[in-house]
A and B are shown apart, each in its own frame.
Chain A
C-alpha cells in the first residue's frame, strides 16, 4: 500500500507492504544509500536514522510505524547544529577508516548531543555502545564526540 514518508523535510510517496523495513525503503526504493545495512537485527547501529529526533534502527522500523513523523538521515544531518559539529569533528580528528559504520555512528552521536550537550564518558558509552565499528575507530569516535561537544 502507499505511504507518504517525510524524509529530510521532503515528502516521498512509496508503495510497499506496511511491514517493509524503513532501511530498505530508504536504500532501494528512494535511492538514499547513506544509511547502511549491517545486521538486520538492531545489533550494530549501521542503519541508525532519526525519527522525530530520536535515534532508531531503521532495519527494525517498519514503514507503517513511521506515520507522519519526520525522518532524518545521514544525508541531511549536517543541517542540524549537532550533526554539523560532529561531521567537522570527525574530519578534524580523522575518525574514519573504512567508513561503512560512520553514518550510523554520527546519527547516534547527534541524537546524544541533542539530549545531552555535554556528555560524560558514561553517557557516550550508553549512547554509542549499540554502534559497532570493526575497524576499531572507537578511540577517535569518543574523542570526536567530546571535541564537538566542547568537553
Chain B
C-alpha cells in the first residue's frame, strides 16, 4: 500500500460516521491523550462497541481498529498540513504494535471536543507544535496493549505461555518460529480477552526502537506527486456550484452598489448573493464566477474603519507601551539594579503585521439544508468551526458535519473559522452545495494577521559587562484573549510573552510585562510560531546589543550566561562549531547567532550574510542545531528545519502587511513577496540526540531565524536592525 487515501476525501462521498467506524469487526483500541491516566487504554470487539458505551466508560482521544483483513486504521484528531504528522504518529503506533508502517491507514477524526482534545492545547486543534508531544506516550501505550492482546490470543490458541511468543510485522510467532498467525486472524479473538491495564504493559526501551528515530518514508507523498491528493478546494459534489467572493475592503464596510444584471449576463453565472459584508457570484465554474464578479463592479461603504492606517496603529502602540502592563515575570529588583548599573542600554523594537499566504487559498464548500449542514474544508480547528456554524445557523452541533481535508499549508490560518462562516452565510442563499473560493487578493487582504508588536527594552550591565537588570515590555494585540479567553489571566496573554518571560539566560533582575493594544479595523490571529516569532527576534537582538555594549563576542557572551542551562548551551555551542564561528569571513560578510527555548525544544542558529553596497542582503548559509529531545523521524525534522527557517526568513526579508485608508496595501505575490528558489540559502540541520521528552519542531526554526540574520547584518555592517522586515535602504553604505 504505502500511500494514503482518506475515505472522506472521495468527492461526493459522505464521511464515514464515527459510529460506522466503531462498528466494524475486529479489535478496537481507544486511547486517551492525558498520559497520566494509565488505565485509559480501552479495547473491545469492534462489533459490540457503540458510541454511548465508549463515552460512558472513558473518553478516548483516538482509535485504532484492527480488522480481520489485517488492516490497521488509526483515527487521529490532528490534521496533515505538510508537517508530517500522519507519518510520525503512525510510526509511534507501528513501533509498539509491531506492524509495518505501510500497514497503517490514517483517518481524520470527526469533530468532537470531548473525544479528541489535544492534551497539551486542550481543544481539538492542530497547532503549537504539539502533536508528537501529546501523542508520544498514549499512542505507544495503545500500540503496546494491542500487541499484548494479539500475542495473548495467539498463545491461547496454541496453548502456550504468551511470554514465549513474539510479534513482528503484524504476525505473532511461537517460540520455535514454526507457528505463526497474522493480526488479522487474531483480531476477533483478541477483542474478547481481558484488557491489561496500560500501566502494566511495558513500553519498549528506546534502544530497542526499530522505527522511531529512523528516516521512515512519509505516508502522504505518493498522492502528492501525481495530483491525486484532495484538499478542501478540490471538493466536487453533484450539482455543486462555485462562487467567487469580494469582501468589503475595509473591515466593517458594506456593499453600496452591485451591478447584478451585468454579472448575471456572463455565461455560466447563476446567482449573485449580497450579504453586505461581501458579495458572491455563483456560477458553473470559477472562470465565469470571477468574470461575473468583475462585471458586478461593486462599490463599497467603508464604515467606521475607513481611516485606519499603519501610522496611527504604530502611534497608538508607542503611547500605550509607555504604561505598565500585565506582569509576566518579576524577579529581583530591576529598578534598583538598573539605577546602579555601570552601563545602561535601551532599545525599541517593532515587528509588522504578517499574512499567512498559504498556497491553498481560503475556500470552503457548504451544503446547507433545513436541518443539516455539511462542510468540506481543511481545518486545524474542526470543533471550533463546528460550534461557530451551530451558532450561526441555529442547528444543533450534531447536525453539522465537518468533512476535514488535507490542508495546502496551514501556518495557523486554518485555526480560524472565518472562511467557513462566510461560506455558510453565502450558502444560506444558495440552493444546493456551493464551493466558495477566495482569490489570492482576498486571501491576503482579508487574512487574520500576526499582530504588529512594539517592544521597549532596557538593560543594565555591571562593570564586567554582565546584564544585572533586564526589562522588556511587549505591546500589541492579544490573540489568546479573543481565541481562548480562559488562558488569559489578569490581562496576561501567555502566548504574547512566550520566550520573552523566560529567556534561557541567567538574569538576576528581570521584569517582563504585556500591554494589550487592539488595533481598530484589523483582525489578528495565530501565525507559524506566534509569540516566539516576535519575542525571540527581540530578545536575541537585544542580547546581541548587550554583547556589543560589553565589547564581547556574541557567542562567548551568551555562553557566559548559559552555564546553568546545559541544553541551551549545547545547541549554541554546536551551531557555533558547525558554522565555523570565529573563522574569518570576506568583506561585507558577517555571522550572527541566536538561541531559544520554545515549543519544548532548544534551538540555535548561526546565519552568514552578505550585505551589498546598495544595502541588499543575501543570506548565504544557516546552520541550525536543535535539541527536541527524543525524536521520531529525523528526515521530517530536517524538512521542518529547512521549511520553518525559510518561512521565518521570508518574513524577515520581505513580510509586511500595511494599512492605508482602512485597506491592506498588499494583494498578491508581487506585493507580499514569497521566497523563491533562487533566493534560498544553504540550511544545515544538526540534531542532538538524547532521552529527554519530545519537543516540537514545526515552529522553532521559524522563530529563531530572524535574529540570527539581523545579528549577522550587524556583524557585517555595524548597523542594528530593530524593525522587520529588513530595510535595505537603511543598510546602504558609501563604499
Contact = CB atoms under 8 A, between A and B. Distances in A.
B406 interface: yes
B221 A134 contact: no
B225 A17 contact: no
Contacts of B221: 90-91, 94-96, 99
B615 interface: no
B288 A16 contact: yes
Contacts of A125: 677-678
A140 B636 CA distance: 12
A128 B285 contact: no
Interface stretch (B226-234, B301-309, B560-568, B598-606): B226-234
A100 B358 CA distance: 9
* Interface residue range, chain B: 35 or more
B359 A133 contact: yes
A53 interface: no
10 contacts: A33-B227, A41-B668, A44-B359, A44-B440, A90-B225, A98-B358, A125-B677, A130-B676, A135-B359, A136-B650
Contacts of B680: 136, 138-139
Contact of A33 (B230, B285, B642): B230
Contacts of A25: 285, 287
Given A16-B288, A37-B233, A91-B217, 5 more contacts: A38-B440, A97-B639, A98-B358, A139-B642, A139-B683
A95 B642 CA distance: 11
Residue of A16, A19, A124, A126 ringed by the most chain B CB atoms within 10 A: A16
A97 B285 contact: no
Interface in B190-243: 217-218, 220-231, 233-234, 236, 242
A87 interface: yes
A139 B644 CA distance: 12
A23 to B, nearest CB: 8
Main secondary structure of the interface of B (DSSP, over half): loop
Interface in B375-422: 406-411
Sorted nearest first, the 9 A-B pairs with minimum C-beta distance are: A34-B227, A100-B408, A99-B224, A98-B82, A97-B82, A136-B646, A136-B643, A28-B285, A20-B287
A8 B410 CA distance: 32
A73 interface: yes
Interface string B651-694: 00000000000000000111000111110100100000000000
A134 B677 contact: no
Given A39-B669, A96-B224, A100-B359, A136 B647 contact: yes
A132 B674 contact: yes
Interface string A73-87: 111011000000001
A86 to B, nearest CB: 8
B642 A99 contact: no
Given A33-B234, A129-B677, A41 B287 contact: no
A47 B224 CA distance: 14
A134 B361 CA distance: 12
Contacts of A34: 226-228
A111 B410 CA distance: 29
Contact of A20 (B231, B285, B635): B285
Contact of B82 (A46, A77, A90, A135): A135
Contacts of A97: 82-84, 639, 643
Contacts of A140: 639, 642
Nearest to B410: A98
A38 B359 contact: yes
B645 A101 contact: no
A94 B639 contact: yes
A103 B227 contact: yes
Interface residues of A, number: 62
B535 to A, nearest CB: 22
A75 B675 CA distance: 27
A4 interface: no
Contacts of A17: 266-268, 287-288, 291
A125 to B, nearest CB: 4
B439 A40 contact: yes
Given A17-B288, A20-B285, A101 B359 contact: yes
B218 A28 contact: no
Contacts of A96: 82, 218, 220-221, 224-225
A29 B236 contact: no
Contacts of A87: 225-226
B285 A29 contact: yes
Contacts of B268: 16-17, 20
B318 interface: no
Residue of A132, A133, A134 ringed by the most chain B CB atoms within 10 A: A134
Contacts of B406: 98-99
Residue of A27, A90, A139, A140 ringed by the most chain B CB atoms within 10 A: A139
Contacts of A101: 359, 408
B131 to A, nearest CB: 15
Given A24-B285, A74-B226, A37 B644 contact: no
Contacts of B374: none
A36 interface: yes
A138 B227 contact: no
A132 B231 CA distance: 18
B677 A142 contact: yes
A42 to B, nearest CB: 10
A30 to B, nearest CB: 10
A125 B676 CA distance: 9
B277 interface: no
